[in-house]
Chains A and B, each alone.
Chain A
Amino acid sequence: MAFYEVYSHPALIRYKTSVCTKATLFLVVVLCLTYIPPLLVAYRSQGFWMKRSTYEEQPVVRFQYQTLLVAATNTQGDYVAWSTFPHLNNMLGANLRIPAVSVREQDQNQDGKLDLLNLQLHLPLKPEEQVYSVQLLLTFSYKLFRMSTVVMQSLAYVQHSSSVPGAKLFISGDLKLQQRTPLPHRGVYNVYNVSVIDGSSPFASAYDLDNIIKSYQNRNLTTVLSCPMPVWTVGRAAGSPFQINAEIRYPVEVISYRPGFWETIKFAWIQYVSVLLIFLWVFERIQRFVFQNQVLTAVPIPVGKPHQS
């Protein structure tokens, strides 16, 4: 006749002792050793408090239709310039050269966020002029919504020069976000919602590129036009304008932010509990050994009398 295990259940044995005994002291020590060291382990192994995290979002970018263009027309340093700022145009005097600009912003995947800016600029030149260098400055309105609401005005700056006069400059790049410190996890962040170029100022110093770039680069959040491969086409025909074609994409950005209180606690809790489980298991075995073998004196109460006091 073969026997097999038809059913099993664990039996509960209670060990009782009074307050001022070694067993009580042992229990306190074990409790401390169970719950405190996991905290230390989790903390000392780095990354316990999450101080920076990232998320992905495609920003809402709009071209602000503010443009500043400087082109050197010979190697001696003569230049022509144009901007959308009336005060600056008035100051430029004979150096003002008004180009023909056409702009189109596209939403390629029809999600309501613009993805691409096409800008074409035709700069008419006099017969004796050639273009050796180009500085182009465009301003954008940049918004993020997912974690903290970021509203700022930002800049794309293109500078290209060549020793050979050009006919065309083609730029295809991404408008990338650069941040020095992480963003807050909520709230409105609009300290940079100010004009990058003060177009209402009548003073020449407001349009000094040094000042503009210096104050812009002081910011925590900036955008840069990442265009690793500008294409400078040489061989301009007499009488034809100098062309700038720009394709600027607004890609999905990975934005780092400082997690909020509950997010920090949540990740710390996960780490703590996962280490705690090991300690619980180890000290459970130690306690069982100690009490089963009566290393410390305690009164075992077997299963049969559960209701005895």
Chain B
Amino acid sequence: MAVSAAVFCLLLLFNAATTNENTTSYNLNTTLGDQNVTFDFMENYTTPQPTEFESTSPTPSSTSTEPPQPTEPLPAEPLPTSGRLPTPVTTVDSVCPCDLHESVCDINCCCDRVCAEELSLFTSCSVDRVSGSQQLCSGDVVSYSLRITIDGYSELQASAGEEPNYDILCIQSQNRVGGLSHPPPALPTDSSFDSLFKEFTSFMFGSEERQVSSAELQDSSGYQYGEVMLTADRGVFLLPAAAITADCVDSSPAGFLKDQSSVCSRRVTLQQHCSSLPPLSMNTYTDIQLLAGKNEDAAVVPVQVCSVVLQSVEGTQTELQISDGGDLPPALLDPSLCANVVLKVAYVVKYSPAGDIVNVSVALVLGFVSEAELTLEQEFHITFVQEDGGGGAVHSSGNPGYVVGLPLVSGTRTAEYPLPAWATPVVVLTGIVGSLDPRDTLSLLLSAEQQDCLRGPQQRAPILFAVDSVSGCTLRLEDAANCSLVQQLLLDVLRGPNPPQHVASFGNSLLDSPMDWLPIKNNLNPGEAQSCSIPLSLHLEVQWTQYGSLMNPQAQIVSIKEIIQTNTTSLEVLSAGSSTLSISSSVAFIPVSAAALPGYRATPTIDAKLPFDFFFPFV
């Protein structure tokens, strides 16, 4: 009831309000043009506006023309440039937002007072309506428009008045001064400037701190994790890496104890760069003198070259016997053949527990590059090992369960079984040069550019735990004439040159616990084959399960099976007329553990025990 009464009162008030419209017309010659531009001038438009000319039109009776006064007394010492805020312009007929040139007429600005003569050039009004607050029941509105007279000219019609608002819930009278205005801003003073600045500025350009990241003086003389390592000439030990693109960024530092391996590319024009581009020459990576610690007087640790491998254009690698101080600068043998270009760099840094660098050694792969212009790929690795005992550490693929993405641990049983000697454990260090050869472990054929199974060196990739993968090569039918030979060759290609027969069921299985090692089951029986059959695919099926707590489950391999599919019909039928046949090699990991389901820890049972004397008189 109270609400409806209030609405009723509002309606009464609205009806009682008489809107007296005062209209003034200018009759000026202008040309024709119409354009609908509305400029809503809200009451809170507080831009300081010079109002030096008198208003010529009668001021409409406005209810909200009182400028909001700053309520707080101004502090004693405002900053010189801020001073006092000018009085905001609130009457709509004196507001002219398009009047941007003082005492010069602005074209198409109909509210510009100095445009008496230029009005004939106007085609439309850029601002044709200036209104006050839309929430008042009768808001002040000044509208400007152009009209064609009977002789073909246009004349400006400016009308100022009040426009009734037919909204039921409009504001009849406004007694809260500044209710529709912005609150008066706090003027900055000497004392409040910093706090105001902090309040209103959060982010801006140039706010990023340029911190000097060189080693500041600290208590410890050794390096800490992630710190850049210094060289003897007060520089920083750099290791090229790829940043926002695949291109090598040469000025990226290497962080202490941050193992890092990066592959990046470099565009090279051999004739121009072969012997002159520093990143291609071995010197750049070997002539480095590192500082053992951060101090000025720290010992100097030179980089020792431990091995240099030379790679031919075809990709075969031979180890060079290099004497101390030997150097192989890149040499241009031919306009399109450059020798001794650095392809891979692997540093091994030995450190002491105090954070001092003890020894740095580097292994390099140099190669021949035989294209006039190419994008050269380079690999850079750095590993940190502890000074004592760290060198022979065996990397395990999990502790105890396998970790997803680490290679399977495999091995070959030696002949002198039943002695518990499981020789040649092959553990693969992912992507580290100088580690054990991935061709000796359980690995998968890697698709190469040549695609032919029987030609060229085959690349192999280690099988990573829980990563299903497939790859393959092609067999040309004319090669398959000598069946028994091709069968053996293909099996060697698919299985790898030295296939292991056992796989560890845990990531950290020990060599002297034979029960932890699973034999690879095999479905191929070589003696059984009556007619020779060509293996078409090799598929490894690894079943693994999870055990242990839900939070930290451990993965265990429960069985591994090698499935070799051979042809049952002739190869010509299989290839369906084409001259090649695809041979595939794949691995699948099958989780056989039951998934954990949400449920009660135990079925809730009613465990209501009555007191022993509850039925006292009866029992």
* Interface positions of A (Cβ within 8 A of B): 62-66, 68, 70, 76-79, 81, 84-88, 90-93, 95, 101, 103, 110, 135, 141, 199-200, 202-205, 207-209
Contacts and interface: CB of A to CB of B under 8 A. Distances in A.
Contacts of A91: 243, 249, 251-252
A70 B251 contact: no
Interface size class of B (residues with CB under 8 A): 20 to 34
* Residue of B241, B245, B250, B260 with most chain A CB atoms under a 10 A cut-off: B245
A204 B252 contact: yes
Contact of B267 (A64, A76, A135, A199): A76
Contacts of A68: 244
A84 B253 CA distance: 19
B68 to A, nearest CB: 16
User: Closest 4 A-B residue pairs measured CB to CB?
Assistant: A204-B252, A204-B241, A204-B243, A204-B249
B207 A79 contact: no
B411 interface: no
B108 to A, nearest CB: 25
B213 A209 contact: no
A199 B208 contact: yes
Given A65-B203, A85-B208, A90 B251 contact: yes
A77 B203 contact: no
A77 to B, nearest CB: 7
Given A135-B244, A203-B258, 12 more contacts: A64-B203, A70-B244, A70-B245, A77-B245, A77-B247, A81-B245, A87-B213, A202-B228, A203-B241, A204-B262, A205-B252, A205-B260
Contacts of B262: 204-205
Contact of B210 (A86, A93, A95, A204): A86
A204 B394 CA distance: 30
A289 to B, nearest CB: 34
Interface string B186-225: 0000000000000000111101111101000000000000
A92 B208 contact: no
Interface string B229-247: 0000000000001111111
A255 B344 CA distance: 50
A33 to B, nearest CB: 21
19 contacts: A62-B202, A66-B208, A77-B267, A77-B375, A79-B247, A84-B205, A88-B243, A93-B249, A93-B250, A93-B251, A203-B258, A204-B243, A204-B249, A204-B252, A205-B252, A207-B244, A208-B242, A208-B243, A208-B244
B255 interface: yes
* Residue of B209, B246, B251, B375 with most chain A CB atoms under a 10 A cut-off: B251
Contacts, number: 78
A159 B474 CA distance: 38
Contacts of A70: 244-245
Interface of B: 44, 202-205, 207-211, 213, 228, 241-247, 249-253, 255, 258, 260, 262, 267, 375
Nearest to A68: B244
B431 to A, nearest CB: 15
A95 B250 CA distance: 12
> At the interface, is chain B mostly helix, strand, loop or mixed?
loop
Contact of A86 (B208, B242, B246): B208
A85 B210 CA distance: 9
Contact of A79 (B245, B251, B260): B245
Contacts of B202: 62, 141
A88 B255 contact: no
B159 to A, nearest CB: 28
Contacts of A76: 267
Contacts of A205: 241, 243, 252, 260, 262
A65 B244 contact: no
Given A202-B253, A203-B255, A205-B260, A101 B211 contact: no
* Residue of A76, A95, A101, A202 with most chain B CB atoms under a 10 A cut-off: A202
A199 B262 CA distance: 20
Contacts of B207: 65
A98 B572 CA distance: 63
A209 B244 contact: yes
Contacts of B250: 93
A307 to B, nearest CB: 37
A257 to B, nearest CB: 22
A204 B267 contact: no
Nearest to A200: B211
A79 B246 CA distance: 11
B228 A141 contact: no
A15 B225 CA distance: 86
Nearest to A102: B205
Contacts of A90: 251
A100 B247 CA distance: 25
Contacts of A141: 202-203
A101 B205 contact: yes
Contacts of A63: 203
A207 B247 contact: no
B208 A207 contact: no
B374 to A, nearest CB: 11
A207 B242 CA distance: 9
B156 to A, nearest CB: 31
Contacts of B249: 91-93, 204
A66 B242 CA distance: 21
A65 B208 CA distance: 9
A65 B251 contact: no
Contacts of A110: 44
A92 B202 CA distance: 28
A15 B156 CA distance: 93
B242 A204 contact: yes
A62 B201 CA distance: 11
Contacts of A66: 208
Contacts of A87: 213
A65 B206 CA distance: 8
Given A204-B243, A208-B242, A65 B204 contact: yes
Contacts of A65: 203-205, 207
A79 B267 CA distance: 12
A203 B252 contact: yes
